[in-house]
Amino acid sequence: MVTADAVYYSPKCDIERPAQNVRFVAHDVDGSIIREQKTNSQGHIELNWNNGETHLTIVRNNIDEEGYAEQNLITEVSLKAGDLGKVFILDGTMDKQCECQDVHIDFSEITQTFDDDYDIYVNNSSTSGYNDDIEESCLINGEYEPISVTVIHQYDDTLPAFAARVMPTKSNVQETFRVGMDQLSQSSHVNILLNNDGNAVWTSANTEFGSEAWVDHRGQNAFVFDELHDDNYIYNSYFQTIQDLTPLSFRHRGYKRSKVNDLSKTYDLGLPNNSVQILSETQLLLENLSNESSAKYDFSGLVLRPAAI
């Protein structure tokens, strides 16, 4: 038996609601569709997984803040029976239900200390030329989410970066938060290996509020703020639009994530270039799903993480 609970969630806060009629498609070992089931009114689904079922495709319709939906398919390859837990589907219209406050941050001391080659980011948005910023913070599990302030050199990624964490509470959320030099933590360099051009490398920390200290790295050098956060990760993604059709588009994305737990080691973030095979097999799968007919596809020989599409 494979079980799961599909939920729509707000990208701004911790609000969720059950997702009804989400399509789960079971395939046999060669990709042929065995059957399709949909989640019930509570978002729950139970699929028998003892009669040749091997791969599972979940059809997610993500909704943006204006209410427009975009279909996204994820296939779990060689799935074992068990509970998948929550299957998250974005619903941007739920953001209106979040309890949020504008937080005023004053970082004028940092601006006056660093020269113009450094840029100051608040929650990964550049504030170049300003001494302060207003950032929205929403309640998550009853507490306002922290705000990240990072200072990064614009041209030389070998130089250290700096970061601070602003922690608003219900009692002080309307005050001005002043971030000074004494609150900054210096970054630590992470050694990485990349195998092709066009990589997008970034780091972030997993916290009780979700992902924090998100930094996009421009070159071959990367860093984490290990003095500020304990649970740091480094990512590499290779994205390519292979065909742009109406109303469908086919995009290939290679993706790799590693936990940074030893700064003395080198993290291999190399990605396989298998876009041609993925395109041909996925296109066939999509066409047959749309026509509700049987489909066969072959992902053998591909180097993939468990969530293949």
Is residue 307 a part of any domain in this protein?
Answer: no
DSSP label of 306 = S
Q: Are residues 78 and 171 in the same domain?
A: no
Is residue 298 a part of any domain in this protein?
Answer: no
Is residue 168 a part of any domain in this protein?
Answer: yes
Q: Are residues 111 and 131 in the same domain?
A: yes
Instruction: Express each pLDDT in 248-272 by its tens digit.
Output: 666 666 778 899 999 999 999 887 7
- Return the structure tokens found at 224: 């984490």
pLDDT at 293: 59
Q: Are residues 231 and 90 in the same domain?
A: no
| CATH number of the domain that residue 47 is part of | 2.60.40.10
Instruction: Express each pLDDT in 14-67 by its tens digit.
Output: 899 999 999 999 999 888 899 999 999 999 999 999 999 999 999 999 999 999
Q: Which domain holds residue 203?
A: 100-268
Cβ neighbourhood burial of 278 (10 Å; 0-12, 13-18, 19+): buried
Domain total for the chain?
2
- Each residue of 139-148: b (16+ CB within 10 Å) or e? bbeeebbbbb
Question: Quick check: 275 pLDDT over 80?
Answer: no
Q: Are residues 64 and 107 in the same domain?
A: no
What's the CA gap between 252 and 241, in Å, rounded?
6
Q: Are residues 84 and 21 in the same domain?
A: yes
Q: Are residues 153 and 57 in the same domain?
A: no
Q: Are residues 18 and 61 in the same domain?
A: yes
Find the DSSP H helices in the chain: 108-113, 275-291
